[in-house]
């Protein structure tokens, strides 16, 4: 059984269980919405301030929401020891990671796409002219968050203080992604937009490096 | 009474492979969790088609031995092999494992769970295989119900069906009677007997004597992670099983 067909089967399972329970999506959407609304009312930014701080706030909200979303990723495999049955069933454990990180990226992207119009309205920032570049940054940033987060979720699920451990490990590790994604987003939403290709390249390389590391060492993260 | 025929030739679904008799061979296996030895120098050869009971007190290493055999846990030292396993077999010699927990998803239906695990293990016609197993374990009428709505006995049945979905030649059971009522235990004993007679090697951990332990062709006793008695070395089945339950 090939890696890709196992990944597709497991991805189907992830999507089915999530769309049946809607636990992760509901939590994430509500969290990002609350953060965006709270900051919008607390700061009441001017148009210029919105352009400067808005993207940073958006990425902070995405990062915190992602840490909420990633926590149950492996944790919910523990109640019935389903992780063991998956490991027993698949030839390559990377399929388990790949399915989970693709599912997490899709959930995160779906949330972001739902939130973007609200972000534009609350912060009075026109996003349509640069939408395609913005979506590219969101895709690469979300993928990076999901790759690193899925790996750390596997580690933290087996630890004693698991609820505390994931954010503790995740937030420092994702600081580069957060900084670069926010910087690229700010430049895209300037009055005279600039596409920072170096930043986009950094995000792509970050994703590639972490994905390779996960492929090489992921098996050990699932061991008891 | 529904019957399990994990590897029988009567299946309406064409088998994905022919069963090759497979045994188990543990060679000097150690398993440490931190500083704690769960298994110490375990050497055990189980012949194809044997039905072996692992007995021993709580914490003696029975579950760890089964998890090593299932290749869920990697031995710290030593080697595990499956003599006679055919690399072309449906599960590549992958054993079927029934643990304390169901190892299936509560949020999926019984049928969805079986199809999922059949697909992952390369079973041809996964839907047909799932249907066949659901009929055999007596859950066909509840095939579309979510597993979380099942009773303990029904959950045990779906767990057994999952373990058999790829027609394994080695079946590992960790205290299979847990949570089953007397009728369920009789059903399990009969079904396990059929699976074993069809050529499948069965290894199970048990406490005390029961209808299920009557199937055993051999018993091995563990204590503090080591094998301390084996009917193959002359110990009596009764003494091992009763000690295990003490």
> From the CB of residue A134, how many other CB atoms can be counted at a distance below 10 Å?
21
Could you tell me which chain B residue has the CA closest to the CA of A12? Answer: B116
CB contact under 8 A, A13 and B70: no
**Tokens 């990425």 identify what position?**
A59
Report the alpha-carbon distance of residue B205 to residue B56 in Å, rounded.
Answer: 8
Chain B: give the shortest CA distance to residue A155, in Å.
Answer: 16
Query: Which letter, b or e, does each residue of A12-24 get, where b requires 16 or more Cβ atoms within 10 Å of its Cβ?
Result: ebbeebbeeeeeb
Question: Measured between alpha carbons, how far is residue A72 from residues A96, A156, A197, B72, B219 in Å?
Answer: 15, 10, 34, 21, 41
DSSP A72-113: HHHHTTTTTTHHHHHHHH-S-THHHHHHHHHHHHHHHHHHHH
DSSP B116-156: HHHHHTT-SSHHHHHHHHHHHTT-GGGTTSBGGGS-HHHHH
What's the whole-model pTM score? 0.85
Query: Rounded to a whole number, what is the largest CA-CA distance in chain B?
Result: 50
Mean pLDDT of chain B: 83
Interface test with B, best of A88, A95, A98, A158 (most B CBs within 10 A): A88
Question: Domain limits of chain B?
Answer: 24-244
Q: What is the average pLDDT across A56-75?
A: 88
User: What is the predicted pLDDT for the residue at B20?
Assistant: 62
CB pairs under 8 A between A and B: 66
| Cβ atoms B145, B109 nearer than 8 A | yes
Is the model's pLDDT at B127 over the cut of 90? yes
B79 strand-pairing partners: B27
The pLDDT tens digits of the residues spanning B183-242 come to 888 888 888 888 888 888 999 998 777 788 888 889 999 999 999 988 888 888 888 887
Number of CB atoms found within 10 A of residue A132's CB: 10
Q: What is the pLDDT of residue A150?
A: 93
Per-residue pLDDT tens for A175-187?
A: 999 999 999 999 9
Q: How far is B48 from chain A (nearest CA, A)?
A: 21
What is the share, in percent, of chain A residues with pLDDT greater than 90?
44
Residue A141 exposure: Cα atoms within 13 Å on the Cβ side: 31
- pLDDT tens readout for residues B130-148: 999 999 888 999 999 999 9
Write out the H or E segment, with its range, that includes residue A53: helix A47-75
Chain B positions touching A13 (Cβ under 8 A) are 105, 108, 116
Q: Which residues from B are below 8 Å from A16, CB to CB? A: 108, 112
Residue B6's pLDDT band (boundaries 50, 70, 90)? very low
Q: Taking an 8 Å Cβ-Cβ cutoff, which residues of chain A contact chain B?
A: 1, 5-6, 9-10, 13, 16-17, 20-21, 79-82, 84-91, 223-224
For the domain B24-244, what is the CATH code?
Answer: 3.40.50.300
Judged by phi (left if over 0) then psi (alpha if -120 to 50, else beta), residue A44 lies in left
A88 and B106 within 8 Å at the Cβ level: the answer is no
HSE, side-chain direction, 13 A CA sphere, residue B212: 29
Helix, strand, coil in percent for chain A, rounding step 5: 85, 0, 15
* B33, B97, B104 member nearest A82 (Cβ): B104
pLDDT tens readout for residues A81-93: 999 999 999 989 9
Task: With CB atoms and an 8 Å threshold, state whether A224 touches B67.
Answer: yes
CB contact under 8 A, A13 and B116: yes
CB distance B120–A1 less than 8 Å?
yes
Helix (H, G, I), strand (E, B) or coil at B174: strand
d(CA B91, CA A78): 24
Q: Output the 3-class SS for A63-77.
A: HHHHHHHHHHHHHCC
Interface predicted TM-score (ipTM) of this complex, two decimals: 0.86
Q: In terms of CA atoms, which chain A residue is nearest residue B92?
A: A91
């Amino acid at each position: 059984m090939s890696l890709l067909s196992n990944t597709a089967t497991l991805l189907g399972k992830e999507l089915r269980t999530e769309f049946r329970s809607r636990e992760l999506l509901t939590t994430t959407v509500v969290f990002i919405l609350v953060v965006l609304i709270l900051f919008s009312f607390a700061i009441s930014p001017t148009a210029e301030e919105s352009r400067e701080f808005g993207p940073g706030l958006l990425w902070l909200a995405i990062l915190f929401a992602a840490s909420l979303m990633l926590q149950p990723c492996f944790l919910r495999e523990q109640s019935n020891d389903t992780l063991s049955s998956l490991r027993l069933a698949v030839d390559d454990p990377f399929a388990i990671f790949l399915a989970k990180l693709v599912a997490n990226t899709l959930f995160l992207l779906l949330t972001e796409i739902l939130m973007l119009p609200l972000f534009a309205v609350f912060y009075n920032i026109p996003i349509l002219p640069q939408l395609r570049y913005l979506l590219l940054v969101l895709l690469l940033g979300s993928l990076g968050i999901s790759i690193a987060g899925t790996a750390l979720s596997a580690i933290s699920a087996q630890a004693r203080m698991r609820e505390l451990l994931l954010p503790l490990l995740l937030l420092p590790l994702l600081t580069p992604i957060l900084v670069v994604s926010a910087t690229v987003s700010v430049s895209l939403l300037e009055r005279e937009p600039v596409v920072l290709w170096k930043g986009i390249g950094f995000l792509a390389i970050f994703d590639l490096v972490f994905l390779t590391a996960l492929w090489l060492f992921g098996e050990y993260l699932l061991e008891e | 009474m529904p019957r399990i025929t994990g590897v029988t030739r009567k299946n309406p679904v064409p088998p994905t492979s022919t069963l090759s008799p497979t045994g188990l061979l543990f060679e000097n296996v150690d398993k440490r969790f931190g500083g704690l030895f769960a298994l110490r120098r375990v050497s055990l050869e189980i012949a194809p088609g044997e039905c072996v009971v692992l007995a021993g007190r709580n914490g003696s290493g029975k579950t760890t031995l089964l998890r090593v055999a299932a290749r869920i846990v990697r031995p710290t030292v030593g080697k595990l092999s499956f003599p006679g396993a055919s690399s072309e077999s449906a599960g590549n010699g992958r054993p079927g494992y029934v643990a304390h927990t169901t190892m299936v998803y509560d949020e999926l239906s019984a049928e969805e769970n079986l199809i999922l695990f059949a697909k992952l293990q390369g079973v041809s016609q996964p839907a047909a295989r799932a249907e066949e197993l659901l009929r055999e374990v007596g859950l066909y009428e509840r095939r579309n119900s979510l597993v979380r709505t099942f009773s303990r006995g029904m959950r045990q049945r779906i767990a057994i069906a999952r373990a058999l979905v790829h027609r394994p030649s080695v079946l590992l059971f960790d205290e299979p009677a847990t949570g089953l009522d007397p009728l369920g235990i009789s059903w399990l004993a009969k079904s396990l007997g059929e699976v074993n007679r069809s050529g499948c090697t069965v290894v199970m951990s048990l406490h005390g004597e029961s209808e299920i332990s009557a199937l055993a062709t051999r018993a091995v006793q563990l204590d503090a992670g080591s094998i301390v008695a084996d009917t193959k070395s002359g110990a009596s089945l009764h003494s091992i099983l009763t000690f295990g339950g003490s």
